[in-house]
Amino acid sequence: MDYKNNKAWLYLLPAIIFLGCFMVYPLIDVFVYSFEEGYNSASQTSFGLGGYNYSYVLHDPYFMQAVKNTFLLVVITVPLSTGLALLISVGLSSIDKLKNLFQTIYFLPYVTNTLAVGLVFMILFKKTPYSDGLMNALIKFFGGTAVDFIDGPYWAKMLVLCLYTIWIVMPFKILLLTSALASVREDYYNAAKVDGTSRWRTFYKITLPMISPTIFYLVITGFIGAFKVYSDAVALFGTNLNASEMNTIVGYIYDMLYGDSGGYPSYASAAAIILFVIVLTITCINMLVSEKHVHY
Amino acid sequence: MDKNVDYDKIRSSAAARRRTIRIITYILLAFWAVIVLFPFYWMVLTSVKSYSAYSSEYVPKLYTLNPTFQNYVDAFTAVNLSRYFLNTLIFTVITTAAMILVITLSAYAFARMEFRGKDTLFTFFLALMMIPNELVIITNFTTITNLGLRNTFTGLILPSITSVFYIYLLRENFLQVPDELYYAAKVDGTSDLKYLWKVMLPICKPTIITIIILKVIECWNSYVWPRLITDDANYFLVSNGIQEIRENGFGRENIPAMMAAVVAISIPLIVLFLIFRKKIMAGVSRGGIKG
Amino acid sequence: MKVVLQNLTKKFPGRGKNKTDEVIAVNDFTFEIPDGKLIGLLGPSGCGKSTCLNLICGLLRPTSGKIYFGEDDVTDLPPESRGVGMVFQNYALYPHLTVKQNIMFPLENLKGDKKMTKQAMEAKALEAAKLVQIDMLMDRKPGELSGGQQQRVAIARALVKTPRVLLLDEPLSNLDARLRLQTREEIRRIQTETGVTTIFVTHDQEEAMSISDLIFVMKLGVLQQIGMPQDVYDDPVNLFVAKFLGTPPINVFAGRVKGQKLYIDDLPLIDVPGVKDQEVWAGIRPEGFILDEQGPLVCRFGAVEVMGRDISVVSYHDACQSPTVRSIIDADNHVLPLEGKVRFSVKPHKVHIFNKETEERIRF
Q: For residue C41, what is the domain's CATH number?
A: 3.40.50.300
In whole angstroms, how far apart are CA B33 and each of A177, A218, B39, B262, B271?
17, 21, 11, 21, 19
Residues A140 and A35 in one domain: no
Residues C197 and C265 in one domain: no
Residues A108 and A30 in one domain: no
| Average pLDDT for B241-260 | 79
Model confidence band, residue A295 (pLDDT cutoffs 50, 70, 90): low
Higher pLDDT: C222 or A5? It is C222
Model confidence band, residue C89 (pLDDT cutoffs 50, 70, 90): confident
- The answer on pLDDT for A45 being more than 60 is yes
User: What is the 8-class DSSP label of residue B197?
Assistant: I
Note the pLDDT tens digit of each residue in B126-156: 888 888 888 888 889 888 988 889 899 999 9
Flag whether residue B152 sits within 8 Å of chain A, measured between CB atoms: no
Residues C72 and C130 in one domain: yes
Q: Which residue range forms the structural domain that includes residue A16? A: 1-50
Cβ-defined contact of C78 to B3 (cutoff 8 Å): no
Closest CA to C138 of C115, C104, C108, C172: C104
E strand or H helix that includes residue B219: helix B205-221
Q: Which chains are adjacent to chain C, needing at least 3 Cβ pairs under 8 Å?
A: A, B
DSSP structure string for B104-149: HHHHHHHHH---TTHHHHHHHHHHHTTS-HHHHHHHHHHHHHHTT-
Q: Which residue range forms the structural domain that includes residue C239? A: 3-243
Q: What is the pLDDT of residue B249?
A: 64
* Shortest alpha-carbon distance between residue B283 and chain C (Å): 28
Model confidence band, residue B289 (pLDDT cutoffs 50, 70, 90): very low
Q: What is the pLDDT of residue A41?
A: 59
Q: What is the pLDDT of residue B252?
A: 56
Report the topology of domain B73-287.
MetI-like fold (1.10.3720)
Note the pLDDT tens digit of each residue in B152-179: 999 999 998 988 889 998 998 899 888 8
Q: Is the dihedral of CA A245, A248, A251, A255 positive or negative?
A: positive
Residues C209 and C279 in one domain: no
Residues A13 and A91 in one domain: no
The number of C-alpha atoms within 13 Å of B240 and in the hemisphere containing its C-beta is 23
| Average pLDDT for C351-356 | 90
Q: Which residues 6+ apart lie within 8 Å of A152 measured at CB?
A: A127
Cβ-defined contact of C109 to A295 (cutoff 8 Å): no
Higher pLDDT: B248 or B48? It is B48
DSSP structure string for chain A: -HHHHHHHHHHHHHHHHHHIIIIIHHHHHHHHHHHEET-BTTTTB-SEE-SHHHHHHHH-HHHHHHHHHHHHHHHHHHHHHHHHHHHHHHHHHT--TTHHHHHHHHHGGGGS-HHHHHHHHHHHH---SS--HHHHHHHHHTT-----TTTS-HHHHHHHHHHHHHHHHHHHHHHHHHHHHHTS-HHHHHHHHHTT--HHHHIIIIIHHHHHHHHHHHHHHHHHHHHT--HHHHHHH-S-TTTTT---HHHHHHHHHSSTT---HHHHHHHHHHHHHHHHHHHHHHHHHHHHHS--
Spans of all domains in chain B: 2-70, 73-287
- The answer on pLDDT for C195 being more than 60 is yes
Cβ-defined contact of C96 to A296 (cutoff 8 Å): yes
A chain contacts of residue B194, beta-carbon cutoff 8 Å: none
Cβ-defined contact of A123 to B103 (cutoff 8 Å): no
Closest CA to A230 of C304, B222, C109: B222
Q: What is the pLDDT of residue A42?
A: 58
Q: What is the pLDDT of residue A106?
A: 95
Percentage of residues in chain C having pLDDT higher than 70: 98
Q: What is the pLDDT of residue C114?
A: 77
User: Which of C200, C217, C243 is the last residue in one of the domains?
Assistant: C243
Residue in chain C nearest A295 by alpha carbon: C96
Q: What is the pLDDT of residue C186?
A: 87
CA triple C223-C227-C233, angle to 5 deg: 95
Residues A127 and A89 in one domain: yes
B chain contacts of residue C78, beta-carbon cutoff 8 Å: 10-11, 14
Alpha helices in chain C (DSSP H): 49-57, 79-82, 99-108, 118-131, 147-159, 177-194, 205-211, 229-234, 239-244
Note the pLDDT tens digit of each residue in C169-183: 888 888 888 888 888
Closest Cβ opposite residue A188 in set C57, C79, C94: C94
Percentage of residues in chain C having pLDDT higher than 90: 16
Model confidence band, residue B2 (pLDDT cutoffs 50, 70, 90): very low
Q: What is the CATH number of the domain that holds A164?
A: 1.10.3720.10
Q: What is the pLDDT of residue B280?
A: 87
Flag whether residue C141 sits within 8 Å of chain A, measured between CB atoms: yes
Residues A165 and A82 in one domain: yes
Range of weakest confidence among C114-118, C342-346, C347-351: C114-118
How many other CB atoms are found less than 10 A from the CB of residue C260? 14
CA dist., res. B193 & res. B181, Å (int): 14
| Average pLDDT for C50-58 | 88
How many other CB atoms are found less than 10 A from the CB of residue C173? 14
Residues C214 and C69 in one domain: yes
Max mean pLDDT range (A124-138, C229-243, C323-337): C229-243
What's this model's pTM, rounded to 2 decimal places? 0.83
Residues A108 and A168 in one domain: yes
Residues A44 and A83 in one domain: no
Flag whether residue A200 sits within 8 Å of chain B, measured between CB atoms: no
- The answer on pLDDT for C332 being more than 90 is no
Count of structural domains within chain A: 2
Residue in chain A nearest C89 by alpha carbon: A187
Note the pLDDT tens digit of each residue in C257-307: 988 888 888 888 888 888 888 999 999 999 988 888 888 888 888 888 887
Residues A37 and A163 in one domain: no
Model confidence band, residue A3 (pLDDT cutoffs 50, 70, 90): low
Residues A87 and A31 in one domain: no
Residues A18 and A97 in one domain: no
Residues C162 and C90 in one domain: yes
B154 class by beta-carbon count within 10 Å (0-12 exposed, 13-18 middle, 19+ buried): exposed
* Shortest alpha-carbon distance between residue C145 and chain A (Å): 14
Count of structural domains within chain C: 2
| Average pLDDT for A143-152 | 84
- Amino acid at site C361: R
Q: What is the pLDDT of residue C15?
A: 64
Residues A282 and A231 in one domain: yes
Note the pLDDT tens digit of each residue in A232-266: 899 888 888 888 889 999 999 988 887 666 678 88
Residues A157 and A22 in one domain: no
Residues C200 and C341 in one domain: no
How many other CB atoms are found less than 10 A from the CB of residue C110? 15
User: Which of A14, A35, A50 is the last residue in one of the domains?
Assistant: A50
User: Which of C194, C211, C243 is the last residue in one of the domains?
Assistant: C243
How many other CB atoms are found less than 10 A from the CB of residue A47? 11
Backbone angles phi, psi at C247, to 5 degrees: -125, 135
